Amino acid sequence: LIFVLFQIKLQFSCSCYFLSTETGSWAEGRQDCRTRGADLVVVDSDEEQTFLSGFTSYSAWISLSDLENQGTWKWIDGTPLTLTYWAGSQPDNGGGDPKYGEDDCAHIRKIRKIKKWMLC
């Protein structure tokens, strides 16, 4: 899964976004962001979700997880999840299949016109 998609800097509102060609896990994506002095994106408005939907047709990590408490989704800055853009049956905690384990993080993926969230 691509955690950031291609090397480009984009700006929206007061935020700057960096997309990279690197691939890896959610933890690796977050570490890559942190070494650059940033972190994975916190989506806090419909406008930002729409803006992020224009980046690419690939998947990218967002900072949403339930690592601390299974089933309680929050952003890495501690903000509780209020806006949701879950795709279809998500979150499904790995679909109940042990080979997938528990889903503890999320990525954004374009489905139709607006990107939706899927679990990893």
pLDDT-based confidence at 100, cuts 50/70/90?
A: low
> Distance of CA 90 to CAs 18, 33, 97, 106, Å?
26, 25, 14, 10
Q: What rounded mean pLDDT belongs to the chain? A: 74
Across the beta sheet with 114-119, the strand order is 74-75, 60-65, 105-111, 114-119
Full-model pTM: 0.74
Q: What's the domain range around 44?
A: 8-119
Query: In terms of pLDDT, which residue wins out, 114 or 62?
Result: 62
SS3 82: coil
Domain of residue 76, CATH code: 3.10.100.10
Look at the chain and report how many structural domains it folds into.
1
- 22 within a domain of the structure (yes/no): yes
What does the pLDDT read at residue 10?
52
SS3 26: helix
- 3 within a domain of the structure (yes/no): no
Q: Residue 65: which H helix or E strand, with range?
A: strand 60-65
- 62 within a domain of the structure (yes/no): yes
